Amino acid sequence: MWTCVNCGLDIMFQAVEVEINRDGCFFICSGCQERNKLINVAQHGDEAICLAQPSGPS
């Protein structure tokens, strides 16, 4: 579950489509349309990327 940094809405991983551009990964909140940044936390050697929300205020 992700939480929108703007409105606090809890969003299931499968409920949104993760988008990737040159600034990085993000998803759009379905409640307020805020762009929520995601970071790749995959360990070195992992085949797939692993996305998570940055912890704490950025």
Shortest Cβ 9–Zn ion spacing (Å): 5
Shortest Cβ 33–Zn ion spacing (Å): 7
Q: What is the four-CA torsion angle of 52, 39, 53, 27, rounded to 10 degrees?
A: -100
Cβ neighbours of 17 (radius 10 Å): 7
Residue choice 7, 15, 49, 50 for contact with Zn ion (CB under 5 A): 7
Residue choice 18, 28, 34, 39 for contact with Zn ion (CB under 5 A): 34
Cβ neighbours of 57 (radius 10 Å): 5
Can you give the binding site for Zn ion, defined by CB under 5 A?
4, 6-7, 9, 29, 31-32, 34
